[in-house]
Structure 1
C-alpha cells in the first residue's frame, strides 16, 4: 500500500517515531441514558491496536465513565467538556485531539458493531487522498427492536469497491443521514470544519457528501444507531421546525451547479417537509407559517422540468408548491377519517364494551380539575405506605388546603389508619377522584385507563434504589420481562410530571429505564426522613413492640424476590444460624411467610424470642430503626438502611445467577455496603468474629452512603411538597445537607444509654 508517505504528510508521525493511527473513533456527547459505558466497553474489547478512541465527554457523568475506561485502555483519550456542550462543538473538540488519518464520529448514545473499527481501518488504508468519505452501512435499534439492518445496502452495493463522485451516484444522498455512517478523511474534515460543525446532524451528514470530491463505500455496518424515544427528548419549541426548511435551502445552494444532486436533494426536502408537517402537532399559527415557508422553498428550488410523482404523493406535492394550505388540511382530514373508519370497524366490539364500562369515568373527566384534591396510592393499592405516605404526612403540615384521598384495595381497607379518607378501586367515587384530582401520587403506576389531564400533576415517587434492571432494561432478561407489557409501561410513564430520586445513580438509571419527559426531583426519598428525625425513645418503643429485650442484638434479615424461581426458597437455615449467633441475638425475618404451624423447626426459637417473623409488619422503616444490623442479598432495603450508618452484611450465595438472569446496574460485590458472605458458614463467621462492625466494614459503608444516600438528609418530603404542591422554585428549597454532616437516628445501643 502507498499510504505511509501520505499519512506522514497529513498527520505526521507521532512523537518517538510511532506512526499515527489510521483511524480515530471520535466518541462525542453526553452519557445519554447511560449508553456511553456500553459503547466504550465494546471499543475496549476490540484487540486491534491501530485505532485510537477520542472521547469528547459532555458533562460529569460522561467524563467519569470515559476516564474509568481510559485508565484501563491506553488507546483512549478523554476530552472533558462542560454540561450542555452541543454536538457540533463536541465533534470539533474531539477532532482537534484526534491523530488518525481518518475520523469516525460516533455519538455517545450509539454503538459500534464488533470488529467494525478494524474493518474500517483496513478499508481506509487502501484509499488514496482523493477520497474524502467512506460511506458505510449501519444497524439500528429502538426500545423495542434490536440490530435491524438499514435499507442502505442496495445503494452501497451499486458503488461496490470503486470510488465515485457524488454526482455520479446521486442516490448516495438517500442513505440515512447520520455522521456515524460516514467516515471522513481528517484533512477533508478540517478543511470544511466551519461548515460541518453544526449541531444539526442531518445537515452535516448531507453536507459531507456534497462537499466530498470522491466517495468510497463499505457494505458492512460500522455504526449501531440507537434511536431514543422521541417522548424522552426535550420537545423543543414549535418554531424550531422551521429549521427543516432552512437546512435544505442551505444544502441546495451547495448543489446548485450539479443538477443530479440538486434534483435528489429537492425530493428529500419536499418529503421531509411534508413528513414534519404531518407528524408534528404544531399550533395552528406555527403550522400555517411552516407550510408557507416549505411552499416557498418548494416553488423556488423545484428543478426545471421536474415531474411530480404519480398518485396521492403527487397531489400532496402540488398542493404544497401552490401553498394551498386549506386544501391540504382538507385532504389530511379526509384521509384521517378513512383510517378512523377502518380502525373502528376492526375494533368496534371492543371499543363499545370499553365505552360502556368507562362512561362514568369519562363523564367525570369533563368536570373541572379540583386544585385542592390529591389522590395517593402505594404498592398497587396496598395501603398508606412508603414515599407517598411520607409525602401525604408533610402535605398535611405544609399545604393543609390540599385534601388527600388514598386508593386502597377492599382487602386492605380495614387496615387504613382511622380518619384516612380512602376509596376502593372500581367504586363510583374512585373514578371521580381519579378524574378530578389535581395531584396523583404513586410509588408504582396508576392503571392504564387513567387519563393524564393537561392541568393535572402526576408524581412518581418510586420505592427503592435500583440495583436490579428496571423498566425497558428488563427487555434483555426473559425471566424479568415475562408478562410485562412494555408499550403499556411506556404509556404510563409518559404521564409522569415528576420522578423522585434518592441519588444520582437512581436519577440516571430512571432516565435510562423509563425514558420520558418528566422532571427528576433530586430531593431524596421522603420515606427515609424518619431515619434522621427518629429519637432514642422512638427506637426503644419499636423494639418493645417487637418484643426485643434490652441488651439483645437485633439482626434484620430481608431477602429479595428472585424472578428465576417459581416459588420462594429459603436461602438460609435459620435454625442453624440462630444457634451460631447465640442467645443474645434476635433474628427479625422479613420475607415470604415460612415454617408456619406448631410443627415448625423454628417453634422453640420463636418461643425463646430468638426469631421474629416480621413479614407482615409495616412500616418497614420501623424495623430498620429497631435493628442493630441488616442482612440482605440484593434487596433495595440496603440503600435505605445505609442512612442509619449501621452495619450491613450482604449474603450473596447466588450472585452470579441473579446478575445473569435479572440483570444489575453495578457489581454489588465490588462495591458492597459492608462485609460480604457467600455461604452460610461465612455469614455466621462474619458475626462471630465481629467483622460485621469492624473498621473495614465501616469504610465500605461510608463509601456506599456517600454514593447512595446522596439526597436523603431528613428533609426530602419537605422539598417534594414545596416543589410540587406549593410550586416553589428549586433554588428556594432547603439545600441537601452533605452526608458527613448528618446525624442519623441513634442506634439501639446508643438509645439505651440516653
Structure 2
C-alpha cells in the first residue's frame, strides 16, 4: 500500500499535463501512486497519460467514457486510490520539489492527522511567483494536531481540495465525495475541515498554482457561476444534519457572502445582463441562511437587499475616489521628486566634504562592508555612511550611519561625500563631481562572462543596458581585483580610465583574522549541531532556467552520507528538510564560509573566496555544457578545479563517502588553485586599499606568502567527531527581512 495516492484529473490541458505528471513522479519521496484520470478529453491528454503509464508502474490510467467534470473525475480517481493519504492535484498545476517528502515528514511528526493543510504559490504566465498572502495561518507553532475550533483562521485560506492531504480511511468513513458543477471544492473542503478530529499544518509551498493567461474555468464568462448557490446549499445541508456543527453557521454565512461578492464583482465571470439575477439569488440565500447576531460587512448589506443599482453606483463612486486618490498620490510624488532633484542640484554646488565616505552593496555586505570597517580603522578622521535599501536593513554593518535611498540625507551624502564605494553602482542620476573618488569593488573573481562579453549571451544579459553600464564605468576611479585573471578580464570587459588595485579582496580578510571561538559562535547562531560536518551548498544562478531549483536531491545526498553531515543551503529558492539549514537570506557570505567545513558548489564565484580559507571544495559540474553555452566561461573549471569534481549526483556522494573530498589529491588541487587565484588574500587587502586611496601611499604593504598564512581551521578539524541526532523540530533558519 503506497503512502500517497496523487489524483490528477485531466481535461483539455495537453500543454501542461506532462509538467504536472513529471512534478509528481520526480518527487524525492517515491512511495506513491499517481492516478491520472482522462475526463474524456478531446485533445492528447489520454495518450499522454497512457505513455506515462507505460514508462512508470506507479501511474494508474483511468479513462472516462464521457466528460463528467472535475468533481466526478476526482471521484473516479478516489475509487481507485489505495494510498494512506489522498493528494489532489489539478492537471495544470505542479508539486514543488521535495513536497511529498516534507508532507510525509510532517504527517509523521503530527501522528497521522485526518487532514494536513500546506501552502501554495501562484505562478503567472509571465514568470512571476507569488506566495499565498495568508501563509501566516499555516504556522507550525503550537499544538499539533488540533481541531478546527483551535485554529478557525484556517477557514480563511483558499477553500480548495489541492492544498491538503487527506487520510483515506477518514474520507471513506465519512463518505466524502465531490459534487458536479463549478466550485465543487466548496462542499468538499468545508465539510472535511468541520468534521476532522485532527488537523495539522505545513508552512511550506508544496503546490505551484498556475495562473493561466487564458482558459481558466473560473475566469470564463458563463452562467455556470450560478452553480455556486447550489454548492452552498450542499454545505448548509451538511451542517443541518449535524447539530454539533451549528456553531459554525455564522462563520460559514460570512464566508458564503464573501464568496458571492467576489463572483459578483470580479470582471469576466458573470455574463452581461445576469448581475441582477445573481444578486436576487444572493439575497434569497442571505435570508435563508442568515444567523441572528452574525456580524457582516457593509457590502454584505447590498447582498442582503439585492441593491444592484445601488451597488453599481457605489462601485462607480469608489472608482472615482480611487482615481482621485491615485492622482493626488501621483502629484505628491511628482512634487517630492522635484523637490529632491532641486535639493540635489543645490548640494552639488556646495563644497565637498573630504571627511565623508558613502558605502553601498547590491546584496549582503561583501567588500564594501569590509572596506567601511577599514576606513574607520586606518582613517578614523572619516565619517562613514551605509545605504540601507528597503527590505535589506539587516545587511547593513553595525558601524556606519544609515541612509535610506530617496531621502534628502541620501542625496546630500552622494553629492558632498568625497569617497563613494560600491560593488554595483549608485543611482543612475548620480553626477560624479570633480574631486570625488569612486571605488568599484566588483563582485569577485569572474568565471562566467561579464560586462561587454554578455553582448554575445542574450540569456545572461537579459535587459542589461550596455550604454548605461559604460556610463557607470566612466565614473570609476579605482577597481579592486583579487588576482591577475580578474584584473585582465575586468579591464577588457569594462573598458575605462580607472586604476586597478590588485590588492586582494577585502571581504576575505576575515578568513585570516577569525579565531576558533568566532567559528564556534557562528555555527551556534546558525543552528549547526556540535560535532557535525557542515557543508555549505552554494550553486550558481542559471540564466537559462526560468525556475531556479537545486540540481541535486539534497535530502538523498544527506541520507547517503550519514547522520554526521548537515547542509547550509544557500540556494536561489528556499529548501527544507532534515539536517538542511536554509541560509538563503543570510547577509554575510563570509560568515557562512567560516561556519562551514567544506564548500559544495558548481560555478559560483564563492569558490574563489573559499579557496583562501584552505578548506575542502567539491565542484558539481553535471550541467557544465548547458551553463557554458548559456552564460559563457573564461576557463574550464573541470580542467583546473579547486578540489574534487563530480559529474553526477552518485559520483558526488561517492566523493564524500570515500573521504576523497578532503584527501591528499584534493589538497594538491586546492593548493594550485590558491596560488593562482588567492595571491593577495593574506588578511590585509582592505588596509592596502585605504592606504592607497585615502592616505596616498603608492607602495602596497608586503604580502604574506601562501605558506605562511594561517586561516582559521574548519570546526571538524578541531572538534571530535559526533553523530548528529535527527532533529525533533526543524533546524533554525537565518533569514534577512
TM-score, normalisation: structure 1: 0.50
Asked if 1 retains the 8 angstrom alpha-carbon contact of 2:395 and 2:587, the reply is no
Which residue is 2:159 aligned to?
Answer: none
What displacement does 1:595 show?
A: 4.1
- Residues 694, 502 of structure 1: alpha-carbon distance in 2 compared, 3 angstrom cutoff: same
Q: Distance in 2 between matches of 1:461 and 1:415?
A: 17
Asked if 1 retains the 8 angstrom alpha-carbon contact of 2:548 and 2:573, the reply is no
Which residue is 2:104 aligned to?
Answer: none
Q: Distance in 2 between matches of 1:673 and 1:414?
A: 32
Q: 1:665-676, aligned counterparts within 5 Å? A: 665-676=634-645
1:362 to 345, 349, 366: 345
Q: Distance in 1 between matches of 2:676 and 2:395?
A: 36
Q: Quick check: 1:705 aligned with 2:688?
A: no
2:378 to 379, 392, 398: 398
Q: Distance in 2 between matches of 1:552 and 1:418?
A: 30
Which residue is 2:708 aligned to?
Answer: 741
Which residue is 1:485 aligned to?
Answer: 465
- Residues 567, 400 of structure 1: alpha-carbon distance in 2 compared, 3 angstrom cutoff: same
Asked if 1 retains the 8 angstrom alpha-carbon contact of 2:569 and 2:575, the reply is no
Asked if 2 retains the 8 angstrom alpha-carbon contact of 1:529 and 1:713, the reply is yes
Q: Deviations over 1:608-630 (max 9, x none)?
A: xx211111223111111111111
1:567 to 547, 566, 588: 547
Gaps of 5+ in 1: 1-351, 597-601
Task: Count matched residues.
Answer: 387
Q: Deviations over 1:351-409 (max 9, x none)?
A: x9998762221221111110001010001xx56x1111111111111111111111111
1:688 to 657, 661, 668: 657
Asked if 1 retains the 8 angstrom alpha-carbon contact of 2:356 and 2:383, the reply is yes
Which residue is 1:544 aligned to?
Answer: 524
Q: Quick check: 1:611 aligned with 2:580?
A: yes
Q: Distance in 2 between matches of 1:398 and 1:541?
A: 27
Which residue is 1:512 aligned to?
Answer: 492
What displacement does 1:510 show?
A: 0.5
Asked if 1 retains the 8 angstrom alpha-carbon contact of 2:511 and 2:594, the reply is yes
Which residue is 1:469 aligned to?
Answer: 449
Which residue is 1:108 aligned to?
Answer: none
Q: Deviations over 1:84-112 (max 9, x none)?
A: xxxxxxxxxxxxxxxxxxxxxxxxxxxxx
Q: Deviations over 1:229-279 (max 9, x none)?
A: xxxxxxxxxxxxxxxxxxxxxxxxxxxxxxxxxxxxxxxxxxxxxxxxxxx
Q: Distance in 2 between matches of 1:357 and 1:543?
A: 45
Q: Deviations over 1:718-739 (max 9, x none)?
A: 101111111111x2x3112222
SS in 2 for 1:531: helix
Which residue is 1:631 aligned to?
Answer: 600
SS in 2 for 1:644: coil
Asked if 1 retains the 8 angstrom alpha-carbon contact of 2:460 and 2:631, the reply is yes
Q: Quick check: 1:554 aligned with 2:534?
A: yes
What displacement does 1:420 show?
A: 3.5
Q: Distance in 1 between matches of 2:418 and 2:575?
A: 46
What displacement does 1:547 show?
A: 2.2
Q: Distance in 1 between matches of 2:580 and 2:338?
A: 53
1:429 to 409, 413, 421: 409
Which residue is 1:679 aligned to?
Answer: 648
Asked if 1 retains the 8 angstrom alpha-carbon contact of 2:387 and 2:404, the reply is yes
Q: 1:327-476, aligned counterparts within 5 Å? A: 358-379=341-362, 382=363, 385-413=365-393, 416=396, 420-476=400-456
Asked if 1 retains the 8 angstrom alpha-carbon contact of 2:418 and 2:437, the reply is yes
Asked if 1 retains the 8 angstrom alpha-carbon contact of 2:457 and 2:632, the reply is yes
Asked if 2 retains the 8 angstrom alpha-carbon contact of 1:537 and 1:751, the reply is no
- Residues 417, 699 of structure 1: alpha-carbon distance in 2 compared, 3 angstrom cutoff: closer
SS in 1 for 2:509: helix
Asked if 2 retains the 8 angstrom alpha-carbon contact of 1:555 and 1:627, the reply is yes
What displacement does 1:560 show?
A: 1.1
Asked if 1 retains the 8 angstrom alpha-carbon contact of 2:501 and 2:689, the reply is yes
Asked if 1 retains the 8 angstrom alpha-carbon contact of 2:395 and 2:588, the reply is no
Alignment RMSD:
2.0
Q: Deviations over 1:527-576 (max 9, x none)?
A: 10011111111111111222222322111111111111112122111111
Asked if 1 retains the 8 angstrom alpha-carbon contact of 2:423 and 2:440, the reply is yes
Which residue is 2:610 aligned to?
Answer: 641
Q: Distance in 1 between matches of 2:573 and 2:628?
A: 25
- Residues 750, 578 of structure 1: alpha-carbon distance in 2 compared, 3 angstrom cutoff: closer
Q: Distance in 1 between matches of 2:511 and 2:421?
A: 22
TM-score, normalisation: structure 2: 0.51
Q: Quick check: 1:656 aligned with 2:625?
A: yes
SS in 1 for 2:627: helix
Q: Distance in 1 between matches of 2:599 and 2:441?
A: 24
